[in-house]
Structure 1
């Protein structure tokens, strides 16, 4: 019984992990914010890991004020960014940012 529970928990955790996608070396082309507080980032020159040319960051997924700060710093300083999305099939689920 313990083996079955362990196997099920590993299978579930792997499927959850597979849903997350990381796209590296994005060059920011556009950074904006809509009236509801969602951030938008257009990107180029990436590896295409998530197949996204744009990302949206919503308050339910991330701290949009901090994300805006990171995006603007990267854009102004011509730095590339790594962007993680929660759902590999949804470029509107951005939740983590890193400056390269």
Structure 2
């Protein structure tokens, strides 16, 4: 699942601007910004994430906004989401794994 997510993130046009292209595991501290998840979503459906709505995540509050945005996009794509924005900011590995798994499940339905 990490390999799939990393491959997706590298395909995103957003990864160049936020510098988050890959993770080592679902407990990687870089996940707290929400940038990696937004990259994965943008690669799944190019253009779905509006760069002007993504914060630099220098504070936990900004990171939480990114996480909320990622969750909103995932739901728009049809993913079943149990993850809370706080789960991303606090880097809860099992919740993030579930989020990525849900994205993998809906990928084939996206055009």
Determine if the TM-score, normalized by the shorter chain, exceeds 0.5: no
Q: Given the two structures, how large is their TM-score scaled by the length of structure 2?
A: 0.28
Q: Given the two structures, how large is their TM-score scaled by the length of structure 1?
A: 0.30
- From the two aligned structures, give the one with the greater helix fraction: 2
